[in-house]
Amino acid sequence: MYISTARNEIGTDVKVIIPNYLSKSKYHNYGNEYNKQIRAKPAVLYTGPVIHAIFTVKVDYYTDAKLVCNVTGFPIPTVTWKHGNKLLHTFGNIMVVQNVTNTTAGQYTCIATNDDVGTSQVNILLEVTYDTPKTVTPPIAVFVMIDTSHNFTCIATGHPKPSLIWSFKSYAQESTTMPVNQRHKGGQVLTLFALKTLESGILTCAAENAFGVDEASVEVIFKNHVTCYNRYNKGLTYNGTVNVTVNGNPCKNWKIYHSQYANYSEDNNYCRNPLPNEISKPWCYIGDNYLFTVCNISACGIAKCFNATCLNGGIFIEEFRGNHTCICPSGYTGENCEQGPSFKLAPQVILKDKITVDEGSSTSYIPCFAVGIPMPTIKWESIDADSGIYMCTARNDIGTDVKVIHVIVKAKPPILHTGSIIHAFTTGKRGLLYRRKASMQRLWIPNAYIHSISQDDQR
């Protein structure tokens, strides 16, 4: 019997070898004498189990894990498994753990045994990975015309794969009933059908798995079609689908121009008028270099009201034989704007976060748009005029929204003269604000210069 012992700083392993000697007689006849010789058979070596395995296995939550124990030894060892201190009814060198969770993760032990020789064991750690849900493509707030539909997309990541739950809360009816809808692509796309303006509200997409929830909510406003343009607001409220100019030119999509008005005018090629102070009716882009013209839209008729002043901020327009016309702010109706809106919306400012203007360019007008019911008032303020930081604030009786814009003046490259030493200094003026009683205001910035002088210039 022989003992083989292996030691390191972690532990000790011992194996036993028992040689088995077998003999056989062979006789040779030399005359009358027999000479007996004994020859031994080769020894049969018995070896204890030796295990080779990967000590750590990682898998995603709810996926299958395969634990492998490669075992050698003679006689052939039998293999059993334990999870923690619990003996499992699994035999063989491969252990499959299905739908791994926190409960089934942890330490597994592979035990190899052959009779009368020895036992070996190895611990294998099974780790499970997971991610909380994260909405990577949230739905986007939109205006949806009555009798049309719109697709909202919500895409989320996470392990396990999160389920998507859509919910809706209307403004007017305080109802959580979802408007008429259809769902596609496993719930990632929701189609809402606009049937009533009173169904306007908040749409929420919730991504949920066993480890958390991520929500994204947007405003969805159902609007009646305005098929003509109002001459007094120059078509600011027009939301029809005319996309042809007075000359018969087709309108281009607002988005492809990367215009500062593109967000205001949505992702379509319909006529709109985001600049009622400068343009007299709805318009659209028709060519390169921001070429545009007005659209072929009829003016709305003017309804008269009698012997009353305009209410709720309505604007008195004209008087004819005792009659007058009231232009009502958004959400108010009636001949004298006496009917309040069926629901109210907090302001939402639409403004870029930064804009670049060239040094020495003509005066720049930066519009600040805001939507809300009642129509919000808008105010420009300077946070740091020297650094070009301005703030646009929109307020109504529901709430306040604020956006900040950074106006960057791009300097012209200085003209370098050979032998000259250049000194540069910067001058700037505080931006002036231009106000009007509407849902848009513009920030007026006079010419900003960065002037360079040299010794030659000083002469």
Q: Residue 308: its pLDDT value, please?
A: 52
Residue 406 has pLDDT above 90, yes or no: no
Q: Residue 107: its pLDDT value, please?
A: 94
Residue 446 has pLDDT above 60, yes or no: no
Domain regions of the chain by residue span: 47-129, 132-223, 305-341, 348-410
Q: Are 173 and 127 in contact (CB under 8 A)?
A: no
Domain with residues 348-410, CATH architecture: Sandwich (2.60)
What one-character DSSP code corresponds to residue 301?
Answer: P
CATH superfamily of the 305-341 domain: Laminin (2.10.25.10)
Residue 436 has pLDDT above 60, yes or no: no
Percent of the chain with pLDDT over 70: 71
Q: Are 75 and 46 in contact (CB under 8 A)?
A: yes
Q: Residue 330: its pLDDT value, please?
A: 64
Q: Which of 314-328, 360-374, 389-403, 414-428 has the lowest mean pLDDT?
A: 414-428
Q: Residue 430: its pLDDT value, please?
A: 33
Mean pLDDT, the chain, integer: 76
What digits encode the pLDDT tens for the residues 168-211? 988 776 677 888 899 999 899 999 988 877 788 899 999 999 88
What digits encode the pLDDT tens for the residues 272-286? 888 888 888 888 888
- Indicate the pLDDT class of residue 438, thresholds 50, 70 and 90: very low
Sheet strand arrangement including 189-193: 149-153, 189-193, 181-184
Tell me whether the CATH fold assigned to 132-223 matches the one assigned to 348-410: yes
Domain with residues 132-223, CATH architecture: Sandwich (2.60)
- Report CA Rg, the chain: 41
The pTM of the full predicted model, rounded to 2 decimals, is: 0.41
Residue 453 has pLDDT above 50, yes or no: no
Residue 97 has pLDDT above 90, yes or no: yes
Residue 57 has pLDDT above 60, yes or no: yes
Higher pLDDT, 68 or 318: 68
Provide mean pLDDT across the span 398-404. Answer: 86
Residue 442 has pLDDT above 60, yes or no: no
Indicate the CATH number for domain 47-129: 2.60.40.10
Residue 105 has pLDDT above 50, yes or no: yes
Q: Are 207 and 133 in contact (CB under 8 A)?
A: yes
Q: Residue 96: its pLDDT value, please?
A: 93
Most confident among 46-60, 311-325, 345-359, 386-400 (mean pLDDT): 46-60
Between CA 453 and CA 311 the distance in angstroms is: 59
Residue 106 has pLDDT above 70, yes or no: yes
From residue 266, alpha-carbon distances to 183, 195, 274 in Å are 23, 21, 11
* End-to-end Cα distance, the chain: 109
Closest CA to 202 of 210, 214, 192: 192
What digits encode the pLDDT tens for the residues 211-233? 899 999 998 888 777 777 777 77
Q: Residue 449: its pLDDT value, please?
A: 35
Provide mean pLDDT across the span 302-327. Answer: 57
